[in-house]
Amino acid sequence: MTDLAQLLEALARARVQWIVVGGMAGIAHGAARVTFDLDCVYGRQPENIERLVAAMRPFGPMLRGVPAGLPFRFDVPTVAAGLNFALDTSAGPVDFLGEIVGGGRFEDLVPDTVELRVFGFSCRVVTLEKLIDIKRATGRPKDLEAIAELESLRDERGSSA
């Protein structure tokens, strides 16, 4: 299980530019589905990559799903040369995504976010409507299953407005 509070605190204190997407975004909007990782779209500017790497260093990030012993460093050159990173950390699994299907890059997503306080820290979370669009575009069976609940939450909010 991901220690969301630890990860959000580290990102917030380092002033990393990131947006919560995926299952945790659904939970932030009231979904009941369980998720075990944190998915974030991060800004790809050099200064932000430096802040991201520094914030994650204490958590010992390693690539998830690769053979044990495979050499890997979550450092500035690696992140700058890469794009999407599925990581295991001492605080749990976290995915840092430079770009996502149905949402694009950090800059593309900013207009479709809301700012929420989670564990006492402010963070951007993709809107419910955009989350539905992203899950639909991804097309994975688990994402398609989640859409019904997310649409129900959206419709419930629409009728109470």
Return the percentage of the chain with pLDDT > 70, whole number: 97
Give the tokens for residue 79.
């992140």
Residue-wise pLDDT tens for the chain (161 aa)?
Answer: 668 889 999 999 999 999 999 888 888 888 887 777 899 999 999 999 999 999 999 999 999 999 888 899 999 999 999 999 999 999 999 999 999 999 999 999 999 999 988 778 889 999 999 999 999 998 888 877 888 888 888 888 875 44
> What is the distance of C-alpha 22 from the center of its chain?
6
Question: What's the pLDDT score for residue 40?
Answer: 96
DSSP character string of the chain: ---HHHHHHHHHHTT--EEEEHHHHHHHTT------SEEEEE--SHHHHHHHHHHHGGG--EETTS-TT-----SHHHHHH--EEEEEETTEEEEEES-BTTTBSHHHHGGGEEEEEETTEEEEEE-HHHHHHHHHHH--HHHHHHHHHHHHHHHHHHHH-
Paired with 48 in beta bridges are none
Question: What's the pLDDT score for residue 130?
Answer: 95
Paired with 63 in beta bridges are 87
Question: What's the pLDDT score for residue 159?
Answer: 55
Question: What's the pLDDT score for residue 3?
Answer: 84
